[in-house]
Amino acid sequence: MAVHHLQTTLVMIVIYLILTRQTTATTEEFRVSVPENVAVGQAIITLPRTQLGDKAELPCAKIMDGDPHFRFNVTKDCIILVANPLDWSVESAYLLNIHRGLYNTSVEVQLTDVVGYPPVYNDTCETPTNPKGGLLLSLKSSAEVLTTNQDVLYIRHLWYDDFFHPPTYDHWKANTNNSDCTFHLATYLSWADDIITFKDIYDNGLRQTTCSAGSDNHDLSAELFFTGGDEESRLQKLRKFLPNFIVDDVRDNIIVLFLKCIFPAKDAKLYSCNFPTFLHPPVRAFNSDARIQIASFEYVDVEVRPIGCPVGRYGFLCNKNCICKNGARCHGFNGACRCAPGWKGVACDIPKPDVSITTTPSDPRQIYTSRNVAFHCRALNIDAKVMSLRFPNGSEKLVSGENYMTVLVANMQPENSGHYICMVLDKDGLTLNATLDVLCPPNRKGVDCDEACDCLQGASCDRWAGCVCPPGWNGTRCQTKCPRGTYGKDCTKRCSCQNGASCSPSGGRCNCTDGWYGNDCGKPCPSGLFGWRCQQRCACKYNATCNSVDGSCTCVTPWTGRYCDQLQTSRARDEPLLESLIPLGSLVLLVAIVTAILFKTGVLACSVPETGEEEKILFELRRMEQDLAQTLQPGWLGRWEKKARHLTPGPLIGEGMFGKVRRAQLRTTGGRLDVAAKAVRVEDAQSYRDFYREAAILVAVHQVQEQDGNDRKSNIVRLVGLITKSAEKYILLEYAPKGDLLGFLRGIKNNNQEYLLENLLGYAVHIARALQELERLRIAHRDVAARNVLITADDVAKLADFGLARDVYATAQYVRANRPGLDELLPLKWMALESIETGEYTCQSDVWSFGVLLWEIATLGQDPCYDGRTQLTFLQMVGILRQGIRMNRPPGCPEDLYRLMRACWRDVPATRPTPEGIEKRLLQLRLALLIPEAIQIMETAL
Ligand code: AMP
């Protein structure tokens, strides 16, 4: 557009120069026509050489007159430039007089009106000011889906939020148009999972989706373009539907997502979208784990929330500079300026005759709290003959010959509220005025502001309307909840939730009671699931029926117990603890195995002096997974046992309340070996339990690795041996000279973050492999965190601490659980939502903690924090996570890495990426950091 105007301008300039140049002895006259939106800095005319026969060219000096507001500049070479923005409605023509040696040159500049210029300030979609910067609005979508495996999943997708910095979102193209308050957003998809998902959605015929907020019109629509084919047909297709500015940016990409939305005024708006209920073929979910396929969408909601740009910026990405001057407000959509009193023009930089009225204090809410209020009346850019300030009670204060007056109202009272009018009569008889409305004091209403509002639910008090209730509330003081079945402002909307579900007060989204799901909560949980939105998995065994509300099991004979996994025998009643720990069959097996082990290894025969020890081991083994206990082959303890006299303990390298780690040397047949010796220091039940659990898990892991022949490649810290027969008991581990990852991260001083990150992600890859090993063994680590990762001499990260180091649980990173019947210290900020809520630990909950470990890496070992808080109680943490709040993207962290973290922190464990998927993704990310083009190549290949 601008280029087009420029060309037109130049052609016109030439024509005018030919047609209108008239030369006299001392005066030259020129005319030029320019569009009003000509850019600042643009040349509008180059004056030709003087025709007076001078040998030397006369330089131009300055514009003598005809330009009172400095719209133009002239260079020595006689080029006239635009110096400040032009505005046809303010001044449509200028007659410039230019001094040139002894001669005068006059140039008539005629402005032409340009449609759509200057941009208009539209109050309806005025955006808030947000000093943090970022984006004009945030977009979040959430959906409830049924998978082909009959799982109910709740998917949340953050498209756009204020904490993403615009440069990382270059591939989002946006256009805002405030004449109808719409914004258009287009992006091409670059994340492989998104491409797969959207392709599937596209194949389901969902090219065009509309979304509506209650009874409102469909003011949010999304379109998908699958732009395969040759360049020309692809372009044609895009051009047909998309604005040109977008087509040029997204033309080379396969899938383009285009959103069009009417900007919500002030508050967030929730839209429900018309996705198809049944999908053929199923949609592969937004997840590295392609096993999850969506069979039906129960609902899809999109929330659009206004955020706003910092002062001086506008546009969807807040990346355009406002031109507004002299205290003008700049519209977030199009940069239109709303001028302060006394200014006009597209940039509010041309003075105009005006009057202003202000108060001190300036905030109207403080007027009544400050005892004395000053009213200031100003005449701007005019010479006032008389100035008056009229009070709400009709009285007036006058001054003459002054351009400024201040009136002090002492002891401001409610009856002082109303209109204050400042009026100015100037010397030419022109009158101008400005009005200021002083509202009632807070919480007051009525003609005389003498009635109290006392609104509830945070409602605002309007002088005339009284309490303005938020959606979902009614009554003079907003004391009444909307009647059941209704919602929205003034409870005018009807909701259709079933089975005792309530509906959200603003959007009407159904909040199902336990045991139900679906758009209107009309569907009972699929078999095997129970609880709120069927998010929990039944644990009932042996054909028992599971209650879809609370997951309780109704057993079939002869089974009994909470999960119907125990046989009904008298033993069960006698030994409830053991029975609840493991099924009877495995108990017998386990006792047999352990007894055999103990005899075979001579432990029993050697008679351990502390007679309680075998029992401690037995007890600990029973607490473990049945599968794991079975992997412990007879003789395990003896095969790993080392002699205490072969160990030479060295300096302490890690210490806590219950355990301590020493660097030590172990005498072996092959020579002396550096080891880390972990010892129990305090002989209490907890320390022993941890000691034996860690020993048994490490033995099990190593046995399986030995069988598979890949023990050397493992990313789990290597077990060297155990010393259990001496008074001081040790777990002997390979010595990792670089210590733990947390200390390593915190010790990094290098500023080259990208180089660093690419190296550090190597450690993350190692731990993702460790998680794969644990997944194969069906062991949950429960405490994946940077402090529990060790770095070996050859720079390999290994997962360590399988339970001994409860000592660190006493530090701030571990919070005491206050679940009934539970008294343990938990690494709360690393724990998955379900682990906090129900104490359930799985490989998927380890994936959550791995996401936190990634965050620790990206922040070089900072303390995890939510909303700027590092110390959180059990309940606060649950509340935060349940609201969908997650840790922010660390500064400098690549967007894709943050997306991976967020994927690890999904509510529903099954939707989190698998350790294998994580490893793949991390390798891609590392590659992309090393060779930025690599990611492009990989995605094109997809
Ligand atoms: P842990 O009890 O496993 O958490 O260990 C406590 C601290 O001792 C760790 O943070 C490490 O600094 C150190 N440590 C533990 N195991 C080793 C090892 N195998 N090699 C070197 N340092 C270790």
What was the pLDDT predicted at 32?
Answer: 95
**Pocket flag, ligand 1, residue 741 (CB < 6 Å):** no
At 736-751, the pLDDT tens digits run 999 999 999 998 876 6
Q: Which residue has the tokens 């101008």?
A: 432
What's the CATH fold of domain 739-808+824-931? Transferase(Phosphotransferase); domain 1 (1.10.510)
Lowest mean pLDDT across 57-66, 173-182, 923-932 = 923-932
Which atom of ligand 1 lies nearest, measured to the CA of 801? 3
> What's the mean per-residue pLDDT of the chain?
78
* Residue 534: partners with Cβ closer than 8 Å, 6 or more residues away: 152, 515, 516, 517, 525, 526, 548
What was the pLDDT predicted at 418?
Answer: 85
Instruction: Give the start-to-end residue ranges of the domains of the chain.
Output: 29-112, 137-306, 353-438, 453-510, 523-567, 632-734, 739-808+824-931
- In the chain, % of residues over pLDDT 90: 31
At 708-739, the pLDDT tens digits run 555 557 899 999 999 988 878 899 999 999 99
**Pocket flag, ligand 1, residue 654 (CB < 6 Å):** yes
Q: Give the DSSP letter of residue 124.
A: G
Among 66, 69, 70, 50, smallest CA distance to 58 is for 50
Which atom of ligand 1 lies nearest, measured to the CA of 661? 8
From start to end of 489-633, where are the E strands? 493-494, 502-503, 510-511, 516-517, 523-524, 529-530, 536-537, 545-546, 553-554, 559-560, 566-567
At 92-106, the pLDDT tens digits run 999 999 877 777 789
Ligand 1 mean position to 661 CA, how many Å? 6
For the segment 564-592, the average pLDDT, to the nearest whole number, is 41
Rounded Cα gap, residues 799 and 782, in angstroms: 12
What was the pLDDT predicted at 375?
Answer: 93
Residue nearest to atom 7 of ligand 1 (CA): 654
From residue 731, alpha-carbon distances to 644, 675, 678, 724 in Å are 11, 10, 5, 8
Ligand 1 mean position to 157 CA, how many Å? 38
Ligand 1 mean position to 678 CA, how many Å? 8
**Pocket flag, ligand 1, residue 520 (CB < 6 Å):** no
**Pocket flag, ligand 1, residue 676 (CB < 6 Å):** yes
**Pocket flag, ligand 1, residue 731 (CB < 6 Å):** no
**Pocket flag, ligand 1, residue 717 (CB < 6 Å):** yes
Residue 414 CB neighbour total at 10 angstroms:
14
Lowest mean pLDDT across 423-437, 813-827, 877-891 = 813-827
Rounded Cα gap, residues 817 and 874, in angstroms: 6
**Pocket flag, ligand 1, residue 733 (CB < 6 Å):** yes
Highest averaged pLDDT of the listed ranges 48-57, 234-243, 492-501, 754-763? 492-501
CATH homologous superfamily of 29-112 equals: Cadherins (2.60.40.60)
**Pocket flag, ligand 1, residue 735 (CB < 6 Å):** yes
Please give the structure tokens belonging to residue 629. Answer: 């206990």
**Pocket flag, ligand 1, residue 736 (CB < 6 Å):** yes
Long-range contacts (CB closer than 8 Å, 24 or more residues apart) made by 772-777: 772/915, 772/916, 772/919, 773/701, 773/705, 773/714, 773/715, 773/716, 774/701, 774/716, 774/799, 774/843, 774/846, 775/843, 775/914, 775/915, 776/704, 777/628, 777/631, 777/700, 777/701, 777/704
Residue nearest to atom 15 of ligand 1 (CA): 661
What was the pLDDT predicted at 175?
Answer: 78
Rounded Cα gap, residues 5 and 44, in angstroms: 12
Residue nearest to atom 16 of ligand 1 (CA): 676
CATH homologous superfamily of 632-734 equals: Phosphorylase Kinase; domain 1 (3.30.200.20)
**523-567: CATH class:** mainly beta
What was the pLDDT predicted at 608?
Answer: 28
**685: Cα separation from own chain's centroid:** 44
Ligand 1 mean position to 789 CA, how many Å? 9
Ligand 1 mean position to 111 CA, how many Å? 77
What was the pLDDT predicted at 611?
Answer: 32
Q: For residue 769, what pLDDT band results from cuts at 50, 70 and 90? A: very high
Q: For residue 240, what pLDDT band results from cuts at 50, 70 and 90? A: confident
Greater model confidence, 435 or 227: 435
Q: List 409's β-bridge partners, or say none.
A: 373
**Pocket flag, ligand 1, residue 650 (CB < 6 Å):** no
Which atom of ligand 1 lies nearest, measured to the CA of 742? 10
Residue nearest to atom 17 of ligand 1 (CA): 676
Greater model confidence, 245 or 129: 129
**Pocket flag, ligand 1, residue 91 (CB < 6 Å):** no
Ligand 1 mean position to 674 CA, how many Å? 13
At 312-338, the pLDDT tens digits run 999 888 889 999 999 999 999 889 999
pLDDT at 29 over 90: no
Rounded Cα gap, residues 216 and 77, in angstroms: 60
At 246-256, the pLDDT tens digits run 676 666 666 67
What was the pLDDT predicted at 830?
Answer: 93
From start to end of 475-601, where are the E strands? 480-481, 486-487, 493-494, 502-503, 510-511, 516-517, 523-524, 529-530, 536-537, 545-546, 553-554, 559-560, 566-567
For the segment 18-44, the average pLDDT, to the nearest whole number, is 76
**Any idea which architecture 353-438 has in CATH?**
Sandwich (2.60)
* Residue 787: partners with Cβ closer than 8 Å, 6 or more residues away: 740, 741, 742, 801, 808, 813
Contact (Cβ atoms closer than 8 angstroms) between residue 306 and residue 263: yes
Contact (Cβ atoms closer than 8 angstroms) between residue 922 and residue 928: no
For the segment 85-97, the average pLDDT, to the nearest whole number, is 94
Q: Which residue has the tokens 């997502």?
A: 257
Among 652, 660, 661, 738, residue to substitute to test ligand 1 (most atoms within 8 Å of Cβ): 661
Ligand 1 mean position to 711 CA, how many Å? 20
What was the pLDDT predicted at 748?
Answer: 85
What was the pLDDT predicted at 50?
Answer: 64
Which atom of ligand 1 lies nearest, measured to the CA of 717? 19
**Pocket flag, ligand 1, residue 797 (CB < 6 Å):** no
Ligand 1 mean position to 854 CA, how many Å? 20
Q: Which residue has the tokens 């592969």?
A: 284
Ligand 1 mean position to 741 CA, how many Å? 10
Residue nearest to atom 19 of ligand 1 (CA): 735
Among 488, 467, 487, smallest CA distance to 479 is for 467
**Pocket flag, ligand 1, residue 799 (CB < 6 Å):** no
**Domain 453-510 CATH assignment equals 2.40.50.140:** no
**Pocket flag, ligand 1, residue 590 (CB < 6 Å):** no
Greater model confidence, 777 or 558: 558
Among 686, 740, 807, 825, residue to substitute to test ligand 1 (most atoms within 8 Å of Cβ): 740
* Residue 304: partners with Cβ closer than 8 Å, 6 or more residues away: 137, 138, 139, 220, 261, 263, 264, 268, 269, 271
Contact (Cβ atoms closer than 8 angstroms) between residue 819 and residue 828: no
Greater model confidence, 305 or 524: 524
What was the pLDDT predicted at 819?
Answer: 45
What was the pLDDT predicted at 854?
Answer: 97
**Pocket flag, ligand 1, residue 36 (CB < 6 Å):** no
At 598-636, the pLDDT tens digits run 222 222 222 222 334 444 554 555 454 444 555 566 667
Ligand 1 mean position to 787 CA, how many Å? 9
Greater model confidence, 27 or 148: 148
**Pocket flag, ligand 1, residue 377 (CB < 6 Å):** no
From residue 768, alpha-carbon distances to 265, 473, 716 in Å are 45, 49, 11
Greater model confidence, 395 or 19: 395
Fold match between domain 29-112 and domain 353-438: yes
For the segment 130-147, the average pLDDT, to the nearest whole number, is 82
Ligand 1 mean position to 694 CA, how many Å? 13
Greater model confidence, 60 or 129: 129
Which atom of ligand 1 lies nearest, measured to the CA of 733? 19
Q: Give the DSSP letter of residue 472.
A: T
Is residue 240 a known part of a binding site? no
Long-range contacts (CB closer than 8 Å, 24 or more residues apart) made by 498-506: 498/522, 504/472, 505/470, 505/471, 505/472, 505/473, 505/481, 506/270, 506/470, 506/471, 506/472
Ligand 1 mean position to 806 CA, how many Å? 12
Find the largest Cα–Cα distance for the chain.
129
**Pocket flag, ligand 1, residue 694 (CB < 6 Å):** no
Ligand 1 mean position to 888 CA, how many Å? 29
Residue 912 CB neighbour total at 10 angstroms:
27
Q: Give the DSSP letter of residue 381.
A: S
Ligand 1 mean position to 840 CA, how many Å? 27
pLDDT at 638 over 70: yes
For the segment 530-558, the average pLDDT, to the nearest whole number, is 87
Residue 125 CB neighbour total at 10 angstroms:
24
Among 652, 653, 783, residue to substitute to test ligand 1 (most atoms within 8 Å of Cβ): 653
Among 911, 914, 908, 936, smallest CA distance to 924 is for 936
Q: Give the DSSP letter of residue 609.
A: S
Rounded Cα gap, residues 705 and 699, in angstroms: 10
For the segment 554-580, the average pLDDT, to the nearest whole number, is 63
> Three-class SS string for 628-655?
HHHHCCCCHHHHHECCHHHEEEEEEEEE
Q: Give the DSSP letter of residue 98.
A: E
At 162-211, the pLDDT tens digits run 444 443 455 667 777 777 888 888 877 666 666 677 778 878 877 778 88
DSSP output for 592-608: HHHHHHHHHTTHHHH--
**Pocket flag, ligand 1, residue 739 (CB < 6 Å):** yes
Please give the structure tokens belonging to residue 797. Answer: 């990260």
Among 681, 715, 732, 790, residue to substitute to test ligand 1 (most atoms within 8 Å of Cβ): 790
Which atom of ligand 1 lies nearest, measured to the CA of 788? 4
Which atom of ligand 1 lies nearest, measured to the CA of 734? 19
Which atom of ligand 1 lies nearest, measured to the CA of 675? 19
pLDDT at 886 over 90: yes
Among 695, 693, 704, 689, smallest CA distance to 677 is for 695
**Pocket flag, ligand 1, residue 653 (CB < 6 Å):** yes
Highest averaged pLDDT of the listed ranges 294-303, 313-322, 656-665, 760-769? 760-769
pLDDT at 799 over 50: yes
At 283-315, the pLDDT tens digits run 876 554 445 788 888 998 888 888 889 999 998
**Pocket flag, ligand 1, residue 368 (CB < 6 Å):** no
**Pocket flag, ligand 1, residue 719 (CB < 6 Å):** no
Rounded Cα gap, residues 783 and 781, in angstroms: 6
Letter for the amino acid at 313? R
Q: How much helix, strand and coil, in percent to the nearest 5, is found in the chain?
A: 30, 30, 40
Residue nearest to atom 6 of ligand 1 (CA): 654
Rounded Cα gap, residues 773 and 771, in angstroms: 5
Rounded Cα gap, residues 278 and 519, in angstroms: 13
